[in-house]
Amino acid sequence: MEALILTIIATSIPLLLAAAGELIAEKSGVLNLGVEGMMLSGAVGALGAVLWLENPYYGIVAGALSGVLMASIFSVFTINFMTNQVATGLGLTIFATGLTGLAGAPLVGKTIPSLPKIEIFLLSDIPLIGSILFKQDFVAYLSIAIIVFISFFLKYSKSGIILRAVGDDHQSAHSVGYPVKKIRWYATCFGGMCAGIGGAYIPLVLTPHWSEGMTAGRGWIALALVVFASWIPWRIIVGALIFGGITIAQLVGQARGWPIPSQLLSMMPYIATIIALTMISGRLSKNNSVVPSSLGKPFFGNQ
Amino acid sequence: MISFIPRDKVSKNWIIIAPILSIVFTIFFGLLIFTFLGYNPLETLYQIFVSPFSRIDRISDILVKACPLIIIGTGLMLCFKSNVWNIGAEGQFIMGALLAGFVALSFPNIESKFFLLITILAGFIGGALWAFIPAILKTKLNVNEILVSLMLVYVAMLFIDFIVRGPLRDPMSFGFPLSKPYPDGALINKIPFPGIGFLGQLHYGIFFVILLIPISWIFINKTLGGFKINVLGSAPQAAKFAGFKQNSITITVLLLSGGLAGVAGVIEVSANIGQLQPEVSFGYGFTAIIVAFLGRLNPVGILFAGIIIATVKLGADNAQMTMGIPKVVTGLFEGILLFFLLTGETLQKYKIKWSEGKK
């Protein structure tokens, strides 16, 4: 039971991180559909760095940097060259799939050491809860810290309120004198960093070797999670755990030989995503205030 | 400091120049990345862009590969023109191929080629039904069609895998996940050329493309339906005032593009494979997104774009065989190409102005 909960948490962390980053980008008005691509880059960056420097912590840094690099490409085109965000995001995922396939080819067949668990003094000795909550790896703690950080940032910090203003009405924010493009650049790169770390987590903890397209649609599920969470940070945790749970449930089902074909079980996370989107979207369309109004719209002014 | 100044009217020159410049820039940046990763750039260039033209049968293979790309791309054009983001053509392709395969395998002895009309219709229905899911969710419940159509790709891939390993598996396939072979009536033959024989894999399916291009051109440019799609995409407010029903346009373009992707699936399987297998598509549905954009959302453009992208795909296959470069590398070129094409779209509407120092 304990092992099961731990796997569910581990499975949900990449989703959680990527969705948290995308939430910030979307709050600033940027819809980046390249999450899948940024995660892939994070994964390959982490693998390369760990194989080279032989320390899993460099994998986190490399993953973050790879994600930021991809987000910068996206920003140059969508923010500076004012290209269509949907098409550019798709392009980023296609680009990153090719790039990581090329960069990952020499890494095939090599295995990396996993990220160590950090026990928090005394707390980790609490039965059950201790080993679940206080005997996790660095990224797991970091992901919770990020959720807490963005909750406070969006709600209480001045920068967070400006960021939301830019996402809700870039024209007015611009008239008041806020640098719309700069803020969107930062938000997108933060999104890239989170997606990169989320991607890095996959080889660092879940499967310690490279395979082409190893993110397997997690970036897209993360995008759906942001909608599912109605752009409220703490709900991402709930959503990510639900999807982690569904993913693990179908794996357990396959392992225990449930009388359902394995392919139909494997469909569950994707079908669940569609169902979740459907349930939430119906409610969102009645209550439109949570969706950033400028989401996906390029800002044509200068700066 | 660079700033963008709106042009008075859309630059006509740019419409032609932009795609050409994009291709040049893409090749340049692609080679830069190859050099950086330690591959010989000139040999890569030769393998990817020149080797597909080196023999006549290879040229006909380009056409064979371009066939599904052009058919799917034409459907996607309708969606993208009306700002509907169907990115699940890959899944619609698979479901079209699957439904057509089911029909074909239900009549194991049929020989008449008229039967192809029925399988193609089945493919259209299969693809359209799969696209109907995002269509109905988008119009009734405001669910994002991007995510739904994409999730359905994964579902379709798993579903065909299940069908081919389960219910439709040929008991004589020695454990391979393959269906029975299609009956003769469901196969698309290669075209014989008098005196030469067959040219590579060139098959009758390309006549569908030859028909589709003018029909879709007329539909987009000369009919009320096409007009509505154009207005909805370029001036949604105007479309609203004119009383066009946005929802019914959204459903129509999704059904048409899903149907066309399904037909592409039938043609691909009936001409090149001849039975169902777990993998039927090889990413055509995703590549066709690039084709639609490279073709400037215009049927004639898509024809050329399909041929160009098919060349790169075949070139990448060659590069994999001769140089060991993974063939997913085409994604690298496709992505960069899309970035530059989109930038070109901005430059059609804006002039770049360089100014000294900070503003």
Q: Do B144 and A102 touch (CB under 8 A)?
A: no
Phi, psi dihedral angles at B157 (to 5 degrees): -60, -45
Q: Do B155 and A285 touch (CB under 8 A)?
A: no
pLDDT tens, N- to C-terminus, chain A (303 residues): 778 888 999 999 999 999 999 999 999 999 999 999 999 999 999 999 999 998 999 999 999 999 999 999 999 999 988 898 988 999 999 999 999 998 888 888 888 888 888 877 777 777 777 777 777 889 999 999 999 999 999 999 999 999 999 988 888 888 888 899 999 999 999 999 999 999 999 999 998 889 888 998 899 999 999 998 989 999 999 999 999 999 898 888 888 888 888 889 889 889 999 999 998 887 776 666 677 888 877 787 766
Report pLDDT for B209: 93
Residue of A102, A94, A59, A200 lying closest to B326 (CA atoms)? A102
Report pLDDT for A303: 60
Q: Do B326 and A274 touch (CB under 8 A)?
A: no
Q: Which positions of chain B have pLDDT values less than 50?
A: 358-359
Report pLDDT for A36: 95
Domain map (residue ranges) of chain B: 1-39+325-359, 51-323
Domains of chain A and CATH, by start:
2-121+129-290 (1.10.3470.10)
Report pLDDT for B1: 57
Strand B197-203 to strand B190-193: parallel, antiparallel, or no bridges (unpaired)? Answer: antiparallel
A236 min Cα distance to partner chain B (Å):
17
| Cα dihedral B153/B154/B157/B162 (nearest 10) | -140
Which among B141, B147, B286 is the nearest to A282, CB-wise? B141
Which among B133, B161, B329 is the nearest to A98, CB-wise? B329
Report pLDDT for B359: 40
Report pLDDT for A19: 97
User: CA nearest A218 in B: which residue?
Assistant: B151
Q: Do A33 and B146 touch (CB under 8 A)?
A: yes
- CA atoms lying within 13 Å on the CB side of residue A68: 12
Report pLDDT for A280: 87
Q: Give Cα separations from A134 to A56, A131, B354 (angstroms).
A: 20, 6, 55
| B residues 55-94 closer than 8 Å to A (CB) | 85, 87
Q: Do B335 and A98 touch (CB under 8 A)?
A: yes
B198 min Cα distance to partner chain A (Å):
34
* CATH class, range B51-323: mainly alpha
Instruction: Render the burial of A224-235: b for 16+ CB within 10 Å, e for the rest.
Output: bbbbbbebebeb
Asked if B345 reaches chain A (Cβ–Cβ under 8 Å), the answer is yes
Q: Do B158 and A263 touch (CB under 8 A)?
A: yes
B103 min Cα distance to partner chain A (Å):
22
Report pLDDT for B172: 82
d(CA A31, CA A102): 27
Q: Do B159 and A263 touch (CB under 8 A)?
A: yes
Return all residues near B43 (Cβ < 8 A) that are at least 6 apart.
B323
pLDDT tens-digit series, residues A34-43: 999 999 999 9
What is the count of residue pairs from A and B with beta carbons less than 8 Å apart? 151
